[in-house]
Amino acid sequence: MAAPTTGSPPSPAPLPALPESTPAPAVVANREEPNNEWYAWSGRDRQADESRGVTRILWRGRQAVALRRAAVGARVAETMLCLVAFSVLAADHRKGWALDSYYHYKQFRYCVSVNVIGFVYSGFQVYAEFHHMMKNKHIIDRPVGDYFDFAMDQILAYLLISASSSATARIADWVSNWGTDPFPNMANASVAVSFLAFLAFAFSSLISAYNLFNRNV
């Protein structure tokens, strides 16, 4: 019997090489990094806007207070000036060498009447301002009260300048005919105060116009 041959066993056939797999492309999110500088500027802008808003509110509050004080001051001045104007002219009775009186002349009567109306109206406005400050409520509701104030201020300013001018012309005519004495002197003093009352009403008309046309601003 033949002996078995010795030797290494046959090597196995090599396996076929697998095709190399192409690595999948990495998915990169298209996301930009946060820009810290932009956020810083945005924060500064918001802070600046808030600061400007607060400043604007404070400025409007101070403006409203100043405007109300000016309105009250003008009303008080109107009341006092109209009172002095018609009181002096009404006291111009039986004055001078001719013992003349203001009621002999329609221009003087006109001036007295307008100043009396101005005194009553401005006195009412003073009361209305204090009523609003005490109770935070207008006697005449807005915006009707704004129209009323604007119209009355315009009318009385016109009437005062008209009455004062006509009284001045009457005084000049009286002096040119008879000369100066206590009668025209008192009339001149009254007319001068009446002109000052006109200036106060003109100032009030500016304030009332502002209140009327800016009430929704």
At 132-173, the pLDDT tens digits run 888 888 888 888 989 999 999 999 999 999 999 999 999 999
Q: Where are the domains of the chain?
A: 47-213
Q: Classify each residue of 15-39 as buried b or exposed e, where b means 16 or more C-beta atoms within 10 Å of its C-beta.
A: eeeeeeeeeeeeeeeeeeeeeeeee
- Looking at the chain, the whole-number percentage of residues with pLDDT higher than 70 is 71
The reported pLDDT for the residue numbered 64 is 72
- H-helix or E-strand spanning residue 56: helix 36-90
- pLDDT tens profile 23-50: 555 544 455 555 555 555 555 555 555 5
Helix (H) and strand (E) counts for the chain?
4, 0
pLDDT over threshold 60, residue 202: yes
Q: Judge whether 63 and 107 are in contact, CB under 8 Å.
A: no
Higher pLDDT, residue 190 or 4? 190
**CA-wise closest residue to 164 among 185, 183, 192, 204:** 192
pLDDT over threshold 70, residue 121: yes
Query: Could you please report the per-residue DSSP string of 25-53?
Result: PPP----PPP-HHHHHHHHHHHHHHHHHH
**pTM of the model as a whole:** 0.71
- pLDDT tens profile 56-112: 555 565 777 788 889 999 999 999 999 999 999 999 998 888 889 999 999 999 999
Confidence band, pLDDT 50/70/90 cuts, at residue 204:
very high
The reported pLDDT for the residue numbered 67 is 82
Here the tokens at position 34 are 């946060």
pLDDT over threshold 60, residue 15: no
**Bridge partner list, 100:** 95
